[in-house]
């Protein structure tokens, strides 16, 4: 009899526990986080020129401070993604450009193109990089926007960050890009030269990225290049 009583009590407790769990309010599913910072969508201020920044994670670092520097002067947008190598640019450009008119497009490709194995297949050897870049410039020129090319910023340690993270010569890629831009009459924002003298101060050790202060320095040059090209000639 005592055993039956214990079993009944245990079953009752289990039932209560099950009912309690079933009756407990379920938490609503977490909403996906919206893009913030440089990737956040912005509402255009009527009457201001529209500027598009295209580039990799380095450009994602300087987009927000550039936007702040140009507040009241331009609507500064960027794709909500790392634009990667030229091959990625060719695939994504139509979507990034959208259907609205752009007054200025400030763009860069190079760091991802220069990646070497064993991290993965080389994205773009120099000849492929030049070919892709020429196609990108042709498509950007077709928008009617004023174009600004940003040179690729330095990679430390001679391009070797780890056994599986290596880069080709940034200088070589910048030479190729400069040739393409000069032949096409595209303005050049030399971010490499701007940051190189202070790279030890602003670049994260053994990394291609920069501190917030480094991104702020780059943003000053980006904002100045955009503002200068917006001024009536």
Q: Tell me the C-alpha distance between 191 and 66, whole Å.
A: 13
> Does the pLDDT value for residue 34 go beyond 80?
no
Contacts of 160 (CB under 8 A, 6+ apart): 166, 167
pLDDT higher for 169 or 17?
A: 169
Two structure tokens written together for 24: 């407990």
pTM of the model: 0.83
> Does the pLDDT value for residue 161 go beyond 70?
yes
Residue 66: exposure state from Cβ atoms within 10 A (0-12, 13-18, ≥19):
buried
Q: Tell me which DSSP letter residue 198 carries.
A: G
For the segment 167-173, the average pLDDT, to the nearest whole number, is 95
For the segment 198-214, the average pLDDT, to the nearest whole number, is 95
Nearest Cα to Cα of residue 133 among 152, 154, 102, 110:
110
Two structure tokens written together for 60: 């994602």
Q: What is the per-residue pLDDT for 28?
A: 35
| Pick among 3.90.226.10, 3.40.50.300, 2.40.30.10, 3.40.50.1110: CATH of 45-230 | 3.40.50.1110
For the segment 222-232, the average pLDDT, to the nearest whole number, is 93
Tell me which of 64-68, 160-164, 180-184 is least confident.
160-164
Per-domain boundaries in the chain: 45-230
pLDDT higher for 124 or 102?
A: 102
pLDDT higher for 55 or 12?
A: 55
DSSP string, 115-153: EETTSSS-S--HHHHHHHHHHHHHHHHTTT-EEEEEPPP
Q: Which residues pair with 189 in a beta bridge?
A: 150
């Amino acid at each position: 009899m005592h055993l039956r009583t214990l079993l009944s009590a245990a079953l009752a407790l289990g039932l209560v526990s099950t009912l309690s769990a079933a009756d407990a309010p379920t938490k609503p599913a977490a909403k996906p986080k919206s893009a913030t910072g440089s990737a956040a969508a912005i509402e255009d201020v009527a009457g201001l020129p529209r500027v598009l920044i295209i580039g990799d994670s380095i450009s994602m670092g300087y987009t927000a401070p550039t936007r702040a520097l140009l507040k009241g002067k331009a609507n500064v947008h960027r794709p909500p993604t790392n634009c990667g190598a030229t091959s990625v640019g060719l695939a994504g450009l139509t979507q990034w450009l959208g259907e609205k008119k752009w007054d200025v497009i400030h763009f860069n490709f190079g760091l991802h193109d220069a990646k070497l194995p064993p991290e993965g297949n080389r994205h773009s050897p120099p000849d492929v990089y030049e070919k892709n870049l020429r196609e990108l410039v042709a498509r950007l020129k077709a928008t009617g926007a004023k174009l600004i090319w940003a040179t690729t910023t330095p990679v430390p340690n001679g391009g070797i960050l780890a056994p599986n993270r290596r880069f080709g010569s940034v200088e070589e890629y910048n030479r190729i890009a400069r040739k393409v831009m000069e032949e096409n009459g595209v303005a050049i924002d030399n971010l490499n030269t701007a940051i190189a003298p202070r790279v030890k101060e602003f670049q994260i050790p053994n990394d291609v990225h920069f501190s917030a202060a480094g991104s702020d320095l780059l943003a000053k040059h980006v904002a100045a290049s955009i503002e200068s090209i917006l001024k009536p000639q």
